[in-house]
Amino acid sequence: MNEQDIPVRLAAWVHGQVQGVGFRWWTRSRALELGLVGFARNLPDGRVEVVAEGPRDHCARLLTALRSQTSPGRVDRVVESWAAAKGGFTGFAER
């Protein structure tokens, strides 16, 4: 198995004007296009937390999309964390 094929977990915290603008729906759509599983949820402090699992290159493409200027709202900063996939997700949910 190629290293790029080993599932990983991406956790990203998106800062900016990202609540109430369709950002979680948009993120879910991008994740499903990439074949990722996980969730996107609003946090009380105004950030959106995104957790996605799948091949590293697919997660990296999602991270690039999160940082792009094509998302709804305004993204000021994205803080990321990488880990081994833990499993337990089916589909990609908006929480």
* 42 belongs to the catalytic site: yes
Two tokens, residue 39: 């969730």
Please tell me which residue in 2, 30, 41, 42 is annotated as part of the active site: 42
* DSSP 8-state assignment for residue 5: G
Query: What is the maximum span of the chain, computed from C-alpha positions, in angstroms?
Result: 41
Angle at 27 between CA 11 and CA 71, to 5 degrees: 110
Please tell me which residue in 24, 28, 30, 47 is annotated as part of the active site: 24
- Are the beta carbons of 75 and 18 closer than 8 angstroms? yes
* 2 belongs to the catalytic site: no
Cite the active site residues: 24, 42
